[in-house]
């Protein structure tokens, strides 16, 4: 706290100011990249889309959500740096928006990106959105405008367990759980894509724009010789008056979105977990001041207490076991009035800090307090002394506690995420409800230099530079987000607001008491 107080004064320390200036460059670069991935497809495709009288996918979302609410977009960087960057945001926009006062999961195809077709990352993003909706009981709204599978990629998207078929499997399961499934057909729904509206509880279709068919006109002609227009085959009139595949006919995009808002307004409101909520209180420090505590040099440990005090209500952090296992900071606070238990790395994990973390997670589960993991971790401490003391056993305790924890948990990678530290601090494999990265964060099994050292010692590759370069490239937040290893990259200054909404939706979950396996003592 002392450190922070010093930095709030007129005279901020020189290292604070240097970090702030350096981090501003990271943020400028981040914003530049966000603008690139959020700009839809090529200009020609955007023009054609508009000429048809259609709104762009992001404009549709803007009209759908309640005014003055924040749409929390997920994984905007999906497919970034892959496929010659021909699939910005993987051609699909997903995120949580408030519609008629209810938090909903919105999934919108971007038809200006290769006809809204699905590559591997498009499917991962769609399926991940449904997973989040399933866990936190969020009604799903699909703004459909898609040519189905991107055919050249069919081997990567069609047959496997979490491929295209999973989208419809999830719709059936979500509907069975009583989680509303609503489609707004605003363009093409071809082949497999036809099942998105067909599997929904209620479907709206836009006249002379939306089409639903298992085989489009060219396929029908090739198969049967029948010549038919898209509208005659599966347009709005056909499906609302003849086939009954859709339920509501809209005149245009605006009308369709207005109908959708009405349908959502009629849904029952979710029951929130009975939890001791308080009025939100702003932190004592400005969000942008966080930049002054971050360094792009991940070898320098992050002052995690300072980070916490910039994120939580009133900067009020009730530390737990402050004097023990000091490389892991644990304690209670509130974010936007919601009580949370926070675990943040101050350095590598030791046996003491692992035991402290396991104890704290049990405590939060016993009290039904959601967890926030702030990862900035190089891994567990190594060496003969520590192995003899049984560091693996104590690390396993923490991993056991994280894996069996049942309260909602959110992870933010605020620095490095390396080795088993990633697991113990609720990495992707530990099913956090959300996992976000900060733009300078890195994630890999280990650093490039360490990997080179390991390989050299076991007589492996001697091409140090290429391995270091490979690790460097593959560990960035952008590389991670492109492959959906996380739910998106956040500006540290926006993190508090997004965590507030994310924790709020997790309160829709009904939490069972945690049961742990055997803790090796
Ligand atoms: N697989 C691969 N590429 C596809 C595609 C698909 N299923 N559907 C569209 N594309 C590509 C087009 O080749 C074009 O690429 P380009 O920009 O590099 O030239 C781009 O997406 C846009 O398609 P286009 O036909 O120009 O746009 P449109 O808005 O007029 O029509 C569709 C969009 C989706 C209605 C139309 O492309 C279509 O009917 N596609 C085939 C749908 C299909 O049969 N899918 C079955 C797969 S499950």
pLDDT for residue 1:
46
pLDDT for residue 461:
61
Q: What is the SS3 assignment for 469?
A: helix
Full pLDDT tens readout for the chain, 521 residues = 445 554 554 468 898 999 999 999 999 999 999 999 999 999 999 999 999 999 999 999 999 999 999 999 999 999 999 999 999 999 999 999 999 999 999 999 999 999 999 999 999 999 999 999 999 999 999 999 999 999 999 999 999 999 999 999 999 999 999 999 999 999 999 888 899 999 999 999 999 999 999 989 999 999 999 999 999 999 999 999 999 999 999 999 999 999 999 999 999 988 898 889 999 999 999 999 999 999 988 888 889 999 999 999 999 999 999 999 999 999 999 999 999 999 999 989 999 999 999 999 999 999 999 999 999 998 888 899 999 999 999 999 999 999 999 999 999 999 999 988 999 999 999 999 999 999 999 999 988 888 888 888 887 665 677 888 999 999 999 999 999 999 999 999 999 999 999 999 999 999 999 999 999 98
Beta-ladder partners of 99: 102
Say how far apart CA 64 and CA 99 lie, in whole Å.
Answer: 7
Give distance in angstroms: CA of 218 to centre of ligand 1: 12
Contact predicate 105/129, CB 8 Å: yes
Q: Which two tokens stand for residue 467?
A: 């391995």
Give distance in angstroms: CA of 114 to centre of ligand 1: 6
Give distance in angstroms: CA of 366 to centre of ligand 1: 53
pLDDT for residue 446:
85
Which ligand 1 atom is nearest residue 215's CA?
Answer: 44
**Whole-structure pTM value:** 0.95
Q: Is the dihedral of CA 261, 264, 269, 275 positive or negative?
A: negative
pLDDT for residue 280:
98
Say how far apart CA 70 and CA 361 lie, in whole Å.
Answer: 31
CA dihedral (468, 473, 477, 482) in degrees, to 10, reads: -150
Nearest by Cα to 444 from 467, 466, 476: 476
Residue nearest to atom 42 of ligand 1 (CA): 147
pLDDT for residue 182:
98
Residues counted in the chain: 521
Nearest by Cα to 89 from 120, 121, 67, 65: 121
Phi and psi dihedrals of 36, rounded to 5?
Answer: -65, -45
Beta-ladder partners of 108: 93, 143
Q: Which residues line ligand 1 (CB under 6 A)?
A: 111, 114-115, 117, 147-151, 188, 190-192, 216
Best substitution site from 115, 211, 218, 235 to test ligand 1's pocket, by max atoms within 8 Å of Cβ? Answer: 115
Q: Per-residue b/e over 71-102, b at no fewer than 16 CB within 10 Å?
A: bbbbbbbbbbebbeeebbbbbbbbbbbbbbeb
């Amino acid at each position: 706290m002392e450190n922070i107080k010093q930095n709030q004064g007129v005279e901020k320390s020189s290292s604070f100011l240097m970090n702030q200036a350096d981090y501003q460059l990271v943020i400028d670069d981040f914003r530049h990249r966000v603008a690139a991935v959020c700009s839809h497809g090529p200009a020609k495709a955007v023009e054609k889309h508009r000429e048809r009288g259609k709104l762009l996918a992001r404009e549709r979302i803007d009209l759908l959500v309640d005014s003055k609410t924040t749409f929390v977009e997920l994984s905007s960087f999906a497919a970034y740096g892959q496929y010659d960057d021909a699939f910005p945001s993987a051609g699909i926009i997903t995120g949580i928006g408030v519609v008629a006062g209810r938090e909903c999961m919105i999934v919108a195809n971007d038809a200006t990106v290769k006809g809204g077709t699905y590559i591997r990352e498009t499917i991962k993003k769609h399926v991940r959105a449904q997973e989040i909706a399933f866990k936190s009981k969020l009604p799903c709204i699909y703004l459909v405008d898609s040519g189905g599978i991107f055919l050249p990629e069919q081997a990567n998207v069609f047959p496997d367990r979490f491929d295209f078929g999973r989208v419809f499997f999830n719709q059936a399961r979500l509907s069975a759980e009583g989680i509303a499934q609503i489609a707004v057909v605003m363009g093409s729904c071809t082949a497999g894509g036809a099942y998105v509206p067909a599997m929904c509880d209620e479907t709206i279709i836009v006249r002379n724009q939306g089409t639903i068919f298992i085989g489009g006109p060219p396929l029908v002609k090739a198969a049967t010789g029948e010549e038919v227009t898209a509208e005659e085959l599966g347009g709005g009139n056909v499906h609302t008056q003849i086939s009954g595949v859709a339920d509501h006919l809209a005149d245009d995009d605006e009308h369709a979105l207005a109908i959708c808002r009405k349908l959502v307004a009629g849904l029952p409101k979710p029951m929130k977990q009975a939890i001791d909520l308080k009025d939100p209180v702003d932190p004592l420090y400005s969000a942008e001041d966080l930049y002054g505590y971050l360094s792009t040099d991940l070898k320098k440990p992050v002052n995690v207490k300072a980070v916490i005090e910039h994120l939580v209500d009133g900067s009020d952090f009730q530390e737990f076991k402050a004097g023990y296992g000091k490389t892991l900071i644990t304690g209670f606070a509130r974010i936007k009035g919601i009580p949370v238990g926070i675990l943040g790395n101050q350095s590598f994990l030791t046996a003491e800090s692992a035991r402290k973390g396991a104890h704290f997670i049990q405590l939060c589960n016993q009290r039904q307090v959601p967890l926030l993991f702030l990862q900035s971790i190089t891994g567990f401490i190594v060496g003969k002394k520590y192995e003899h003391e049984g560091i693996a056993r104590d690390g396993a305790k923490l991993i056991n506690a994280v894996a069996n924890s049942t309260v909602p948990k959110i992870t933010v990678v605020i620095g490095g995420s390396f080795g088993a530290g990633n697991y113990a601090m609720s990495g992707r494999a530990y099913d956090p409800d959300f996992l976000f990265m900060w733009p300078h964060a890195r994630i890999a099994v280990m650093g490039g230099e360490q990997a080179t050292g390991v390989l050299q010692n076991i007589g492996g590759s001697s091409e140090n530079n290429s391995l270091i370069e490979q690790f460097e490239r593959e560990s960035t937040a952008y590389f991670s987000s492109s492959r959906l290893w996380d739910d998106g990259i956040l500006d540290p200054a926006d993190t508090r607001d997004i965590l507030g909404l994310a924790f709020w939706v997790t309160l829709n979950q009904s939490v069972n008491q945690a049961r742990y396996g055997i803790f090796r003592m």
